[in-house]
Amino acid sequence: MRAMFSLGAVALMFLSPCVARADATPLPLTEIGVGSHGYDFIAGFWKCESAGDDIEHPTHTYIYATRSGMANAVVLVWESSWGQATQTLSYDAKTNVWTATFAGEPDPNVGVQQDAKFLKPLYGEVYSHGSESTSDSGPRTVWSGVGVFPGNAHRPIRDTWTFASLTQLEDITEEQIDGKWTMWDADKCVKQ
């Protein structure tokens, strides 16, 4: 038992300086998105205010983020008056590309019908889901991809993330309709 305690104490002596050094040196904004740990700083709780003030946009959004060792990714859970969506940020070291996949709760406005074995939508998709990617790094990154929305609408989408600091994020979400990019929402988020 004493040997086990001694081994643990020695391990702490070697690990503690590494942990302290990692926490003491904040990530420069130019290093955001660089390498497989380029978004680890997002881990924590964020509160966002939306620029939208009508029924089309949630006024408040909360983000819970964590680094998942099992998935080797950063996992974000977005909660708002619209419900919940989960987003996973993963990094491909071979291409230096970050990919964000997302899926949301079913849209309560899309009807479903009871089948003998399962519920199915009356038309198209019930869930929002999709994927965006970026090879950008630094305080401003543009994520682009395709979203699939209730009613089976496939649309090009993009999010522009601008970090004023490691605790302040502006997320501008756009979708392409009839060949034109249209701002859909803008959130200003602060890490709590």
DSSP 50-75: ES--STTS-SEEEEEEEEETTTTEEE
Q: What percent of the chain has pLDDT over 70?
A: 70
Q: What percent of the chain has pLDDT over 90?
A: 48
Domains in the chain: ranges and CATH: 32-191 (2.40.128.20)
Q: What is the mean pLDDT of the chain?
A: 78
Amino acid at 61: T
Q: Residue 124 above 90 pLDDT?
A: no
Helix (H, G, I), strand (E, B) or coil at 20: helix
Which pTM does this prediction carry?
A: 0.75
CB 125 within 8 A of CB 113: no
Query: For the segment 136-174, what is each residue's pLDDT rounded down to a tens digit?
Result: 999 999 999 999 877 667 899 999 999 999 999 999 999
- Give the E-state strand segments of 12-106 in sequence order: 44-50, 60-68, 73-80, 83-92, 97-106
